[in-house]
Each structure stands twice: as structure tokens, then as C-alpha cells.
Amino acid sequence: MTIDYSKWDNLDTDSERETPPPAALQSGAPATADPITGSTPGSIQAITVRCDGERVRFAPWSVTSVKADHPIFSNFVPLIPRLIEVPLVFHRVGSQSADRADLDNQVITYLHIDSESGFASPSWQSHIGTVLVARKDQKTLRPQHLEGVWMYCDHILDLFGDGEGAPTHMYRRQAFEEWWKDYCKEQKKLRRGTGGENDPDDWRAVQSPYVT
């Protein structure tokens, strides 16, 4: 699937340069997740989603773990993830870059779009930095599940672009489950990862986000 970033062309992110889409998040492109060799008691699997500046040196996203008492679990679930019942929560971890353009993080912006306007709130539009993502219910978050919700938001933005208003029929779990089945089927044909369930490009045995 080719990702169309043009829908955000009119969004003012105050960036002074345009960063190309992250290669690891395109169909068939390689990505390496940070391996978790052992499970620490009380730890919960999460995903680090890097801002534009850090993607130059590191994978766009990678698996990590957090403690059950991490402050991320006190944060709110954005509207679209909440409506489709995949309870993602976010925690900014910043960046070492002093260049504000480096801090943009379009994946995270997409995940915060409003259901009525299709735009994220100003605080999630630009200069976001690198972000930690987990499930508020403290279940394991797989990279494929995060990608699925992100691309579902991308699909919703496409529907906004049709000019027919908010696609309210997409704002429910059943609609996401139907879309997810087709997306998984497509990725299994296009992606050739062999690194296991924490490899973003290994879709061979990916289950639904509702089966964790």
C-alpha cells in the first residue's frame, strides 16, 4: 500500500523542511525492531515512535517495555482509537535535536485526528518529538497493531478528502475489524519480514488487536 501524505499538505506544521515518508512504514520496506530477550516482571510491551530527526539514525519505531506504574497509563486515549476500542495512550519523550522541524512526528499526528474535522489538535500537529505508545489496558502492543490503527486513521483522512463530511460509519469496532482483515491480507502478500511478532514487517501470524 502506497501511503498518500498529500492530505496534510495544507496543514501548517511550521516545519522548515519536508521529510520524506519513513521507509520502514511503507509496504515491503525493511525495519528492525529492538529485540526483547526476556520479560521483566511487571513490564509491559510498548512502542517507541521516533520523530523525523531521529529517523535519520534509527528505525522509525521499535519495541520497548515500560513499568506498570509508568505515567503513560494516566494519559487519555485519543478519539479514533477510543471509538474503535484499541486504547492507545501516548507519552512524549522528546528529542536531542534543537531543530524544531526535526520534532515533527506525522504518525502520532494521524493517531490524534478529530472525528469531526479530520485535524489533530494544535498540540499534536507539530514539534511533537519522539513518543512512547502503549495500550491503556496494559496489554501487549504489537508494532503491526500500531501500524494498523495509524493506517486506519490514514484511511479515514482519505474519506474526509472525498468531501462528504465525517465518515461516522468508520467510528466503531466492527468497521475497524472488517478493514483490518483486508489490510492484514494485503500486508502478508507484500511484506517479507521473518523476525517474528515484534518485527514490523513480519505479518505471517499477526492476530487482531482484540486478541492479545
DSSP letter string over 22-78?
PGGGSTT----PPP--SPPTTEEEEEEE--TTGGGTS-SEEEEEEETT-GGGGSPPP
Residue 120, phi then psi, degrees to nearest 5: -80, 160
- SS3 at position 3: coil
Is the pLDDT at 8 greater than 90? The verdict is no
Residue whose C-alpha cell reads 503513560 in the numeric block: 72
Lowest mean pLDDT among 25-29, 67-71, 179-183, 190-194: 25-29
Is the pLDDT at 25 greater than 70? The verdict is no
Is the pLDDT at 29 greater than 70? The verdict is no
How much is the pLDDT for 129?
Answer: 96
Is the pLDDT at 42 greater than 90? The verdict is no
Q: Where are the alpha helices (DSSP H) in the chain?
A: 79-83, 106-111, 143-161, 173-190
Residue whose C-alpha cell reads 506504574 in the numeric block: 69
Q: Angle formed by the axes of helices 143-161 and 173-190, to 10°?
A: 110
Lowest mean pLDDT among 39-48, 103-112, 159-168: 39-48
- Quick one: average pLDDT of 186-206? 93
d(CA 196, CA 193): 8
Is the pLDDT at 70 greater than 50? The verdict is yes
Confidence of residue 6 (pLDDT cuts 50, 70, 90): very low
> Contact, 150 vs 200, CB < 8 A?
no
Confidence of residue 51 (pLDDT cuts 50, 70, 90): very high
The β-bridge relationship of strands 61-67 and 43-49 is: antiparallel
pLDDT by residue (tens digit) across 86-131? 999 999 998 877 788 899 999 999 999 999 999 999 999 999 999 9
